[in-house]
Structure 1
């Protein structure tokens, strides 16, 4: 059995490597930018963002697909219907009093929680292929709370990747008026997920925001212990100072985690994020390719 699994793993890795190299070579021949996967995007109508403007940016940067967190599921599905191959949709929850942190309606008929049977139907049908962004930090709930456990169990059973808000932000001044009175920054510590991963050893998680600044060491510690945990560095890679982003990204690389870092924009402009990655001299071209495409292609199958 061990030999069969080992051979299967080697074959899968070899097949993926060939496909990744082929995609890179095709980009070089056509003059297009190297392919990208955006692991952190939200369906929204704020700041002049529309599905057309998002698709235009994706076309400009050769983004193969984006993982779309949907609090307003109808809006997320409308984006997906516009370009079915470009978006992978996941449900964001729990939402305080049925309202998303950005004040969208969010499973209002069930106090901010999706019906578990409905959610399983979305995965079975292929309408949704990920879960998240999970917002228990906003809700004031620990990831070990019993209300979350059926969702983790479902994700593990169906091999659904789960995106977690793993950060202590945003600070109160950056939250919309009326948002999330039970927000608890302490719950953004990634190490709080350790009991969940011990209970669900096949669960695939990516840490959205990668712990940001306060919890980046804890993010590294969790990733080193659990090989099925990945991270995207959204917000750090755009809103935070370049020098800070550079230092924290290098700490993940130095910890040996280059194969589990993902590119996520969190709706920030992709050009500036890509320019930053290109400017960091400690990254090799292969490492940049892993962060922008290969790791996500593997993680999201």
Structure 2
């Protein structure tokens, strides 16, 4: 009888250990904890930070859950940020010191090396704080940034810039295949500079806020076809992966294998279930897991970086190897980092 009871106890202990091991595999083994390259982080300074704290709830698509156009959308947007509806909103900083302190904490906690996009003056401030970790990327928009080609060449040869982007022409109503971009694409191809092009969603209500010329149709990756035929050695990262044109993106990645994409904050712009099911799973199922790069689209709220990482780590359909590719390997290959 004692032997029988002992066998029962041992059986229970064994089952309990198996359960713990199973939980560890689900909770630990599938979590990527190595270094990360964030292909999409925006530099802020005192001139771009809001004068008062603003609270952000995600997903961003539900920030203004409904809207009656008898009201100004800007009023609804501001009200949602001043009085966030979630329990634990992220709060913006009002000073450069407070903001960069939060950024530093996120970078160190998650072992992140960011590609930081911004103007020359702002990136000079960032270099003083993050020169050992950041990869400077020059943001650019036709009409707004009238940079002569020789000056642009000098910035990359002498000022340490390594990426041209975010190219935000979509916000100005300019498609990626606008002929005025040819000279810049040609220079990037000649100098072997990777370019990062905004093609995807902006903030909800963007045309009614700060981008009246924004054109959603310019997210379509098919617009890059003539660009890649003209400049076949150009390295292009499609920021926000041309969302929501997933089928068009897949056919472009199929026919133009130099195209990479970054996730660009879409993981927190929409509910996770939607992002997983209709975006990330589909691109992975098409076989392009070696060309998806992590991007947080962090700007006023540094905590977006950690939340973006968690969303990818919590995708139970991704293997640890696939997460390592998304978080680090693919970007290192795209940027030609040893």
- TM-score range with shorter-chain normalisation? 0.7 to 0.9
Q: How does 1:73-88 map to 2 (within 5 A)?
A: 73-88=120-135
* Aligned residues between the structures: 252
- Aligned partner of 1:293 in structure 2 is 328
| C-alpha separation in 2, matches of 1:38 and 1:94 | 22
Q: 1:147 aligns with which of 165, 177, 180?
A: 180
Q: Residue 260 of structure 2 contacts residue 292 of structure 2 at CA under 8 Å; is this kept in 1?
A: yes
Unaligned runs of 5+ in 2: 1-31, 50-91
CA separation of 1:197 and 1:95: change in aligned 2, threshold 3 A = closer
In structure 2, distance between residues paired with 1:95 and 1:269? 28
CA gap 1:189/1:170 in 2 versus in 1, 3 angstroms? farther
2:108 alignment partner in structure 1: 59
CA deviations 1:252-284 (Å, max 9, x no partner) are 110110000000000062222222222222111
Q: For residues 35 and 198 of structure 2, what CA distance do their matches in structure 1 show?
A: 26
How far apart, in 1, do the equivalents of 2:193 and 2:141 lie? 17
Query: Do structure 1's residue 202 and structure 2's residue 233 form an aligned pair?
Result: yes
Q: Tell me, what secondary structure is at the counterpart of 2:268?
A: coil
Counterparts of residues 137-176 of structure 1 (less than 5 Å) = 137-172=170-205, 174=206
User: Which residues of structure 1 form unaligned runs of 5+?
Assistant: 1-31, 99-111
- Structure ranking higher on relative contact order (CA contacts 8 Å, 6+ apart): 2
CA distance in 1, matches of 2:217, 2:333: 31
Segment drifting more, 158-167 vs 120-129: 120-129
| SS of residue matched to 1:210 | helix
Could you tell me whether the CA contact under 8 Å between 1:132 and 1:164 is conserved in 2? yes
With the length of structure 1 as denominator, give the TM-score of the two structures: 0.78
Question: What CA distance in whole angstroms lies between the structure 2 residues aligned with 1:197 and 1:79?
Answer: 33
Any idea what SS the aligned residue of 1:201 has?
A: coil
| TM superposition shift of 1:126 | 5.0
TM-score for both structures, normalised by structure 2: 0.70
- For residues 34 and 236 of structure 1, the distance between their equivalents in structure 2, rounded to whole angstroms, comes to 22
RMSD in angstroms over aligned alpha carbons? 2.0
Measure how far apart 1:203 and its partner are: 0.3
